């Protein structure tokens, strides 16, 4: 007899899980029972629920072994065992059989190439970018005093009390200073009283303002990065740094953070913010830094100093126009 429990599942998912366990019968080698009051043989963790992930992180290894990450398609989940939402009997049976056969299998990176998975278990959420990256379904409300942002992942839109630069400034506050509400706990005013905007504008700003120098889980510090297109900047005019990174990262060959820093002179803090923003908006392609670069391109010829000087003067002139 084996025991299964869960952390962070919605009431509906928990009901479905218990029903499926009851119905498994002879389809697994051992009899499985849902219990949360004994030492369990498997634990289903809702990876999209950041509070559940934080709680899971505090549990001893004996409880965390054989954790099954249950999530939407979040790239880079670093668990050997995963279940995609919604819960399906066949998938559950397969993963339980695997636990029966390989009870001690260590969590390791799943076989996925893009973006490269982290080999670390999910860490506690420390940045707003990480919080939003892990929240891939339903409603998320971020409150800071009387200011707030509501993100609706289902409908791919957001609403906020702020506008433009003010929103960017709000999102730059440390994550710990926000009050976070998720799912059914987010009470919305009646339809029609809120103005909803495309979520990409918010996701871009969250990456840009709410990264605090930390890559979101699943992105390797030593990885290689490029973007598939220029981002839609939405609410806030891009800085020169952002335009520089857009140009560099749309090159055919992916670049490491160190290469980008070396060529552009942009601080790593800003590069990480850009990479997170690109990841959140779905335009990032990441490769493992361990993978050999296909064909190292010939180095781009250095621009003559005169040319660089001209570009700098044009930028300066246009900056004056904006001011």
Partner 1 sequence: MSEIKVIITGTPGAGKTTAIAAISEVPPVRTDTATTDELADVKSETTVAMDFGELTLEDGQKVFLYGTPGQQRFEFMWKILVQGGLGLIVLVDCTRADPIADMGMYLDNFADFVAETGAVIGLVKRDVNDTPAVDDFYQALSQRGLMFPVLEVDVREQGDVSLMIEALVSLLEFA
Q: Which residues bind partner 1 (CB under 8 A)?
A: 228-230, 232, 237-238, 240, 243-244, 246-248, 250-251, 263-264, 303, 307-308, 310-311, 313-318, 321-322
Per-residue CA distances from 214 to 17, 112, 125, 129, 222 (Å): 35, 22, 11, 9, 13
Nearer to partner 1, 28 or 264 (CB): 264
Nearer to partner 1, 23 or 323 (CB): 323
Nearer to partner 1, 12 or 251 (CB): 251
The vertex-282 CA angle with 278 and 288, nearest 5°, equals 75
Is residue 277 within 8 A of residue 208, CB to CB? The reply is yes
CB of 240 to partner 1, least distance (A): 7
Bridging pattern class, strands 197-198 and 157-160 = antiparallel
CB of 258 to partner 1, least distance (A): 16
| Cβ count within 10 A of residue 265 | 9
Nearer to partner 1, 179 or 228 (CB): 228
What is the Cα–Cα distance from 150 to 171, expressed in whole angstroms?
12
CB of 253 to partner 1, least distance (A): 12
CB of 228 to partner 1, least distance (A): 7
Nearer to partner 1, 174 or 232 (CB): 232
CB of 272 to partner 1, least distance (A): 18
């Amino acid at each position: 007899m084996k025991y299964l429990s869960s952390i962070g599942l919605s009431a509906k998912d928990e009901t479905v899980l218990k029903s499926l366990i009851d119905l498994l019968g002879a389809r697994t080698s051992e009899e499985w029972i849902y219990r949360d009051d004994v030492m369990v043989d498997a634990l289903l963790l809702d990876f999209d629920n950041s509070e559940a992930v934080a709680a899971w992180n505090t549990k001893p290894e004996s409880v965390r072994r054989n954790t099954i990450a249950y999530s939407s398609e979040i790239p880079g989940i670093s668990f050997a065992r995963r279940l995609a939402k919604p819960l399906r009997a066949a998938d559950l049976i397969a993963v339980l059989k695997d636990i029966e056969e390989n009870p001690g299998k260590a969590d390791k990176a799943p076989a996925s190439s893009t973006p490269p998975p982290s080999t670390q278990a999910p860490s506690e959420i420390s940045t707003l970018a990480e919080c939003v990256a892990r929240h891939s379904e339903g409603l998320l409300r971020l409150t800071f005093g009387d200011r707030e942002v509501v993100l609706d992942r289902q409908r791919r839109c957001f609403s906020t009390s702020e506008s433009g630069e003010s929103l960017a400034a709000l999102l730059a506050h440390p994550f710990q200073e926000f009050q976070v509400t998720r799912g059914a706990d987010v009470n919305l005013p009646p339809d029609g009283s809120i103005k909803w905007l495309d979520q990409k504008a918010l996701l871009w700003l969250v990456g840009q303002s709410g990264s605090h120098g930390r890559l979101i889980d699943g992105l390797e510090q030593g990885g290689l990065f490029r973007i598939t297109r220029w981002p839609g900047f939405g609410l806030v005019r891009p800085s020169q740094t952002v335009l520089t990174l857009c140009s560099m990262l749309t090159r055919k060959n992916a670049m490491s953070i160190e290469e980008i820093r070396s060529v552009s002179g942009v601080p790593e803090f800003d590069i990480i913010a850009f990479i997170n923003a690109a990841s959140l908006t779905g335009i990032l392609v990441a490769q493992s830094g361990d993978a050999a670069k296909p064909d190292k391109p010939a180095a781009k010829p250095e621009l003559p100093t005169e040319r660089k000087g001209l570009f700098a003067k044009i930028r300066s002139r246009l900056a004056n126009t904006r001011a």
